[in-house]
């Protein structure tokens, strides 16, 4: 026991003057307004900038020095606010980022966010209401329920029978769902570890699942050697006709497949697995079907595109990243379970300081029991504000536009002689290669990767790359509606220029 009487009273006496100083110097409401207005001005200019730009790539050591130069060197007292320095810090952050609102941004899956959503994000930071416990984040807690019901309009589960939890990212959602799947099949795994399983628990998936699934399998103690690989068809979907054979072979090897992982929008090419067929198979084999819809399950909100997720109501769990195709700040992920009871199976918990013994109407809204995170950002608020004000139309229109743009870009590529397409775009991801007649097939010469690197250095367009059939391909992801077909054509021109220059350098 800590004895107050023995404590050094010097350290206990509070310096109230310091508190007053802090209040005046840093926590002052007007100072906050001043700083916030500075940010708003800069962001307004940033958002109004319609120029084509990718990334201003800076050598890390240079940026390190620049950032360090902005840090105070005296630590004895609190400085008055240096607005110039503050402004310089804000500018540095804005300028060094991938320009997600520009038509030159075609590289990653995080969105050019709807700026209005960020306003709520800002409020959430000031009022700091973590969302895992009702008492800490009351509105976020009820809003999660509201948004779950909104999405269920596109799924069709029975009210109150399903569950939705939010996580910070699709990776964490995948891990959480797979934990729930494992614990549903092996209830004693949590306490006894893998010996409780008796057999070798295995997970079936295709080569194109996101790497977070592999990590989850490692973390779960399943072991990557217990992965059953399901072959893909030419559209890079799980080849349904081969699944049963694979599962049979797994059984012969002493494996027990308790879960099939499918994708709704693969990261590489945006392919959608056939969920209805997989759900039938999962039911036959009595295994859990989890759908990683981080990228593409947002297509649910579109009447035109929802068919790609046909069968979603039959899957055990699926997730979607709202920070991708629902255009809110990262991270904001929604993880759905068909069976509410199973959502409580991912984690076991005993912590008297947060979990109540007796359930009441408040604790029923604590999402912490279903979620790994304890202190969690109330990221659902950003989605809610847009949904509450504009409904699904905002999202559906934007998604449909981006998917149509991908189709149009595919057509453009097909009409060229020097570009090769690799797949029909199923969503807003499109992979291709620049293959002019004069390119040679040197083994150590990764032409596509070099193009991508040079393109990034030029700073006008930002795209990504991906391995398809063990060869590098260029990859564009259309994440903001400012991108038009003409921008894609400009990108192709720049790729041609860069490619030809590279060929000159390396072939001479």
Ligand X SMILES: *Cc1c(COP(=O)(O)O)cnc(C)c1O
Residues in the site for ligand X, rule: CB under 6 A?
109, 169-171, 210, 212, 263, 266-267, 292, 294-295, 321, 331, 333
Nearer to ligand X, 257 or 429 (CB): 429
Structure tokens at 286: 């009595």
Burial of 442 (C-beta count, 10 Å sphere; 0-12/13-18/19+): exposed
Looking up tokens 């890079």 gives 236
Comparing every residue's Cβ against ligand X, the nearest one is: 170
φ, ψ dihedrals at 251, nearest 5°: -60, -45
Question: Would you say 428 or 448 has its CB closer to ligand X?
Answer: 428
For residue 288, the minimal CB distance to ligand X (Å) is: 17
Of the two residues 294 and 464, which places its CB atom closer to ligand X in the complex? Answer: 294
Closest to ligand X by CB, 212 vs 464, is 212
Q: In angstroms, what is the minimal distance from the CB of 474 to ligand X? A: 18
Q: Is residue 432 exposed (0-12), middle (13-18) or buried (19+ Cβ within 10 Å)?
A: buried
Shortest Cβ 171–ligand X spacing (Å) = 3
Q: How far is the CB of 170 from ligand X (least distance, A)?
A: 3
Q: Name which of 210 and 236 has its Cβ closer to ligand X.
A: 210
Q: Which is nearer to ligand X, 250 or 430 (CB)?
A: 430
Instruction: Specify burial of residue 33 (Cβ count, 10 A radius: 0-12, 13-18, 19+).
Output: exposed
Q: Which is nearer to ligand X, 402 or 451 (CB)?
A: 402
Least separation, in Å, of the C-beta of 322 and ligand X? 9
| 430/410 Cα distance (integer angstroms) | 7
Least separation, in Å, of the C-beta of 268 and ligand X?
9
Q: How far is the CB of 376 from ligand X (least distance, A)?
A: 14
**Which distant-in-sequence residues (6+ apart) come within 8 Å of 174 by Cβ?**
210, 212, 213, 216, 261, 290, 292, 294, 319
CB-based contact 207:183 (threshold 8 Å)? no
Full 3-state SS string of 350-401: CCCCCCCCCCCCCHHHCHHHHCCCCCCCCCHHHHHHHHHHHCHHHHHHHHHH
Minimum distance between the CB of residue 150 and ligand X, rounded to whole angstroms?
20
Q: Give the separation between CA 300 and CA 399, rounded to whole angstroms.
A: 10
Residue number, 294 or 382, with CB nearest to ligand X? 294
Q: For residue 367, give the nearest of 329, 323, 333, 325 by alpha carbon.
A: 333
């Amino acid at each position: 026991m800590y004895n107050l009487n023995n404590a050094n009273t010097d350290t206990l006496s509070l310096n109230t003057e310091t508190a007053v100083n802090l209040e005046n110097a840093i926590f002052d409401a007007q100072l906050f307004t001043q700083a916030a207005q500075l940010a708003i001005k800069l962001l307004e200019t940033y958002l109004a900038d319609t120029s084509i730009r990718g990334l201003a790539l800076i050598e890390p050591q240079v940026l390190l020095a620049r950032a360090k130069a902005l840090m105070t060197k005296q630590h004895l007292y609190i400085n008055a606010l240096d607005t110039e320095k503050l402004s310089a810090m804000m500018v540095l952050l804005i300028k060094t980022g991938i320009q997600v609102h520009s038509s030159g941004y075609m590289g990653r899956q995080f969105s050019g966010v709807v700026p209005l959503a960020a306003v709520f994000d800002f409020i959430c930071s000031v009022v700091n209401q973590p969302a895992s416990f009702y008492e800490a984040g009351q509105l976020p807690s009820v809003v999660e329920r509201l948004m779950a019901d909104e999405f269920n309009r596109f799924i069709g589960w029975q009210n109150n029978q399903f569950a939705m939890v939010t996580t910070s990212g699709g990776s964490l959602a995948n891990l959480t769902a797979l934990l729930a799947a494992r614990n549903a099949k092996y209830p004693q795994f949590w306490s006894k570890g893998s010996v409780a399983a008796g057999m070798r628990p295995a997970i079936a998936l295709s080569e194109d699942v996101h790497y977070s699934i592999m990590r989850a399998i490692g973390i779960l103690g399943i072991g990557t050697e217990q992965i059953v690989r399901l072959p893909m068809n030419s559209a890079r979907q799980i080849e349904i006709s081969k699944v049963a054979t694979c599962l049979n072979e797994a059984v012969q090897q002493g494996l027990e497949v308790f879960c099939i992982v499918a994708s709704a929008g693969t990261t590489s090419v945006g392919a959608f697995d056939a969920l209805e067929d997989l759900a039938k198979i999962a039911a036959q084999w009595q295994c859990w079907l989890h759908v990683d819809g981080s990228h593409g399950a947002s297509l649910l909100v579109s009447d035109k595109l929802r068919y790609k997720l046909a069968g979603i109501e039959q899957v055990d769990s699926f997730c979607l990243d709202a920070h991708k195709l629902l255009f809110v700040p990262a991270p904001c992920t929604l993880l759905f379970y068909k069976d509410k009871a199973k959502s409580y199976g991912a984690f076991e918990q005993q912590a008297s300081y947060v979990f109540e013994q007796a359930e009441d109407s408040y604790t029923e809204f604590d999402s912490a029991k279903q979620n790994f995170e304890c202190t969690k950002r109330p990221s659902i608020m950003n989605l809610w504000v847009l949904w509450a004000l504009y409904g699904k139309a905002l999202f559906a229109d934007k998604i449909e536009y981006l998917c149509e743009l991908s189709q149009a870009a595919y057509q453009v590529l097909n009409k060229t002689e020097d570009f090769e397409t690799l797949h029909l775009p199923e969503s807003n991801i499109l992979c291709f290669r620049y293959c002019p007649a004069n390119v040679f097939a040197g083994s150590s010469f990764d032409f596509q990767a070099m193009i991508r690197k040079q393109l990034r250095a030029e700073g006008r367009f930002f795209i990504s790359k991906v391995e398809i059939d063990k060869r590098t391909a260029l990859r564009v992801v259309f994440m903001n509606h400012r991108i038009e077909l003409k921008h894609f054509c400009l990108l192709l021109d720049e790729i041609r220029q860069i490619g030809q220059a590279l060929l000159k350098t390396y072939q001479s």
